[in-house]
Structure 1
């Protein structure tokens, strides 16, 4: 391993060690801070015991040890310890731990579902503890309020800070990436331009070499020339074929993988191209009925005909070629190059490498058209392209950095939306629940007017009990008149379900109903 690599590896190891030490120191300081309320409010001087202090410190230590890997676990431990002390959840020893662990859970956790399950499980566990110990239902409302303040609110703040940090970090990362990419733009553009030039060389120069080989082949077979001239023409034909093969190999090396076909405009029209092919000895019949064609479509049509003539010169040098350019529907231009079977055999060294049709297909696709090629039933070959008269406009695509930054912004907005609707949903659920419980409690103290009229003074108390609600009010309403003198006890009941007054008052003496009245 080189010395530079070893040095960089040692630096990385030292940096990781320093980060681990710093993390442990911060966790230890936070643990000491969270242990202070446990010691102050669970010590023997405050009605607790040292065993309770040790248990609380151990719970907090376990939460700090597991918090970085499982961020929700410390919050679960702190909530369990707080519920063990008080069914109302808010306890002085663990209040600070609940707030700190709630914030860290929102700050560190990738997923929100474990925290939401915890927020739903704490009220259920608190209600079960209250019912098991015979506590009042008001304690559960205190638990819900305490959970919203010490669990949900810190967690939402942590989620917001996490989303904001992610947005800032994404912005800096994208800026750094764009700066690095900008440094390579000039080199990449130079290489891309070289590749385009190489593609144009393959398209135009390959066509010219094929026509040169075709003309040399005709001279080689001309009986008017002497043996020396025919041999020189054959050498010229073979040299042109070899040059075509070497050009194809070189261009294949220069082209980039997956690069679009070059779109450099040709310097001649379709008629000029066909005339040049005829001058080289190729028999070509042209049928062109189109008018003006847009630039990109015209270049694609020129390239299709050029490739068709090049293939005909290579593979069917003695066959007549038919070129047809027409617009059958008024919206697309069709370019067809048809070659019947050749009378002779192609010259040696003129085999195609197969890259011309691939590049041609890409160019036609960029112009918004389709390309077809294949053998005809007679044994010849046809090359056909359908291109739109109106060139397609390229769709603007946002750069990758902009898409990633937009994704980060959407995540932040979603986190902020959660920070708004989760508290609203909790408050709505809590209000609805409290309203339902309030109605139920009022119904438990509501005496039906029909049952009140059935009660008569002097009736023994056991005969009156079946007509009474589950329980009376806790006491007389404010500014109620004094109770009758000499009564053993008096009870008050609601006369209407939704109003606090008026109320019914029933007073007993010696186990009998001695007075009944409706107090305004």
Structure 2
């Protein structure tokens, strides 16, 4: 909060210092001692104050106002009073403006305005070329630098935001992993302890009806069977609280083979058959899922169909292994037994899915239950995925690199285009003022312009604007003297034609 409160104060202080700095050239170059006036100084100070005031919200308005203040002084745009302001507001426009389209339109409008003013004031195109050069170096180049700085700051902010987000995501992942571990523990309790309690209940039920035991022992065995059934029910209720609905199935290894599992169930009194033997060995998640399918099938048969025969069939082909656990209807449903909640099947289905297989269960025609799973011999490997934060950071880096490249090649391209344009205009101008030496030789004293045009093959349309530097004085008494190039690429010597009353009075080659 203190930093947020200081921020407006810093901004105002920065704007004040910027205004004072930009006013220095106006005070030095627009005062009466330098050919200006105090009115120009006052106007410049007020204009710069307004530009600084609106530069944060409308940076392009500040830049346009500075250009408007510079053009009346010279069509070449770059003035001693406002040159620093052009550079400053060009940079701030690139630094603060979100989009680039409006800035490009403004640059184009400045170039067109300079061309129109050149045509209206009948000045040479050289001043317009100077305006374009000043626009490229004093406005566009700082603007591109501002755009690059803006992109770099965005990269830095993105890096910090991504670091903060990754820290929060790591904390969330740690919490989620703790919940998943709790779910795994709950699943192990349900699958392993529930299976063992079901076998204990089967043994106790067998002792309860054994004729070799007395009434007291049978009653104790019945209490043991009921206690095992109650413990199984309470375990199921606890699992429902501990286990999250969307968590993966537990993955702890059972520590025994399918043959050992069925043998232990048979020793506990469960009528179970396994075919064929030995059972194929599967690696990794597929092997764990195979063991868990058989364990869940035996547990369900012991809990919900006591006394029924159970068959475990394992078949295989080149790619998959199919396991099916089928039990018939129960012949003796003990007191305290109840229907399951399906939690074991839900977790089992998740385990098989993670191993790349499928799970199905159904009721048989005789009222029994069948549990079927198809497991791949080789589980599919998970596809690696780049974190979203890494992709975003890489995208921000590419944007900064693009901004740096634009800040370099756009000014160079503008300068190259400007140079090509200036060279083309210069060649065209020279061609318009070039007089062929043979045509010059055919010109005679006393001819009019119309006669000269008839006697020459290619009479130039435009003479030079003025006499070359350090040219000899013109003959006295002449009404007009015109100068033409004698060579296409050389500036001197030139041909001079002087007229009196519309007739050629003197012709000479000026060195």
- TM tier relative to shorter chain: 0.7 to 0.9
Q: How does 1:244-323 map to 2 (within 5 A)?
A: 244-252=235-243, 255=244, 259-280=247-268, 281=270, 283-287=272-276, 291-313=280-302, 321-323=310-312
**What secondary structure, in the 3-state scheme, does the structure 1 residue paired with 2:71 have?**
helix
Tell me if the contact between 2:349 and 2:358 (Cα under 8 Å) persists in the aligned partners: yes
Deviation per residue, 1:306-332 (Å, 9 max, x gap): 33444455555566555443442x2x3
Q: How does 1:213-232 map to 2 (within 5 A)?
A: 228=219, 232=223
Shift of 1:422: 2.2
Shift of 1:463: 4.7
Q: How does 1:328-347 map to 2 (within 5 A)?
A: 328=317, 330=318, 332-339=319-326, 342=329
Tell me if the contact between 1:445 and 1:493 (Cα under 8 Å) persists in the aligned partners: yes
**What secondary structure, in the 3-state scheme, does the structure 1 residue paired with 2:429 have?**
helix
**What secondary structure, in the 3-state scheme, does the structure 1 residue paired with 2:360 have?**
strand
Gaps of 5+ in 1: 1-11
Shift of 1:453: 9.9
Quote the RMSD (CA, aligned, Å): 4.6
1:421 aligns with 2:409: yes
Aligned to 1:93: 81
Gaps of 5+ in 2: none
Aligned to 1:6: none
- TM-score of the aligned structures, taking structure 1 as reference length: 0.76
Q: How does 1:45-444 map to 2 (within 5 A)?
A: 45-168=33-156, 193-212=181-200, 228=219, 232=223, 235-236=226-227, 238-252=229-243, 255=244, 259-280=247-268, 281=270, 283-287=272-276, 291-313=280-302, 321-328=310-317, 330=318, 332-339=319-326, 342=329, 350-367=338-355, 369-375=356-362, 383-395=371-383, 405-444=393-432
CA–CA distance in 2 between the matches of 1:288 and 1:273?
Answer: 13
Change (3 A) 1:508 1:49: closer
CA–CA distance in 2 between the matches of 1:478 and 1:68?
Answer: 50
Task: Tell me whether 28-37 or 225-234 shows the greater mean CA deviation.
Answer: 225-234
CA–CA distance in 2 between the matches of 1:453 and 1:376?
Answer: 116
**What secondary structure, in the 3-state scheme, does the structure 2 residue paired with 1:337 have?**
strand
**What secondary structure, in the 3-state scheme, does the structure 1 residue paired with 2:484 have?**
strand
Change (3 A) 1:366 1:439: farther
Change (3 A) 1:517 1:417: same
Tell me if the contact between 2:76 and 2:128 (Cα under 8 Å) persists in the aligned partners: yes
Tell me if the contact between 1:319 and 1:339 (Cα under 8 Å) persists in the aligned partners: no
**What secondary structure, in the 3-state scheme, does the structure 2 residue paired with 1:334 have?**
strand
CA–CA distance in 1 between the matches of 2:506 and 2:332?
Answer: 130
Shift of 1:420: 2.1
Tell me if the contact between 1:340 and 1:381 (Cα under 8 Å) persists in the aligned partners: yes
Shift of 1:203: 3.1
CA–CA distance in 2 between the matches of 1:148 and 1:34?
Answer: 20
Shift of 1:355: 3.8
Shift of 1:239: 0.6
CA–CA distance in 1 between the matches of 2:434 and 2:374?
Answer: 86
1:492 aligns with 2:484: yes
- Rg comparison, structure with higher value: 2
Deviation per residue, 1:111-166 (Å, 9 max, x gap): 44443443333323322333333332112211121122221222333334444445
Aligned to 2:27: 39
Tell me if the contact between 1:445 and 1:469 (Cα under 8 Å) persists in the aligned partners: yes
Tell me if the contact between 2:205 and 2:222 (Cα under 8 Å) persists in the aligned partners: no
Shift of 1:267: 0.8
Aligned to 1:27: 15
Change (3 A) 1:307 1:98: farther
- TM-score of the aligned structures, taking structure 2 as reference length: 0.77
